[in-house]
C-alpha cells in the first residue's frame, strides 16, 4: 500500500470519527430523534432501558441512501 493511500484512509477515518462525535454531542438538540413512535423506554425505580428501534431504522435508511448516492456518483 502506498503512503499516500494510507494517508487518505486515515484522514477519512478521522473525519468520520469527528462526525460521529458531533452527532453524539448535539444528539439531545436534534428534534424527534430518540422520541419517535416505536422507540421503547422502560423506567423502573433503579434503572432505565432505552431501545431506539424506529430511530435505528431511520438512521439506517438515511445512511443507506447516502452510501448509495456516493457509489452512484462515484462510478466512472
Q: Where are the domains of the chain?
A: 1-30, 31-76
Q: What is the pLDDT of residues 36-58, one digit of tens each?
A: 888 888 899 999 888 889 988 98
**Which of the four pLDDT bands, split at 50, 70 and 90, describes residue 1?**
low
Question: When comparing pLDDT for 24 and 55, which is higher?
Answer: 55
The pLDDT > 90 percentage for the chain reads 14
Mean pLDDT of all residues in 25-42: 79
pLDDT of residue 57: 92
String of DSSP letters for 1-70: --HHHHHHHHHHHHHHHHHHHHHHHSGGGSTTTT-STT-EEEE-SS-EEEE-HHHHHHHHHHHHHHHHHH
Amino acid at each position: 500500500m502506498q503512503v499516500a493511500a494510507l494517508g487518505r484512509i486515515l484522514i477519512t477515518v478521522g473525519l468520520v470519527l469527528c462526525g460521529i462525535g458531533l452527532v453524539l454531542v448535539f444528539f439531545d438538540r436534534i428534534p424527534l430523534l430518540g422520541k419517535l413512535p416505536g422507540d421503547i423506554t422502560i423506567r423502573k425505580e433503579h434503572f432505565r432501558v432505552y431501545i431506539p428501534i424506529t430511530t435505528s431504522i431511520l438512521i439506517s435508511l438515511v445512511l443507506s441512501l447516502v452510501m448509495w448516492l456516493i457509489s452512484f456518483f462515484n462510478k466512472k
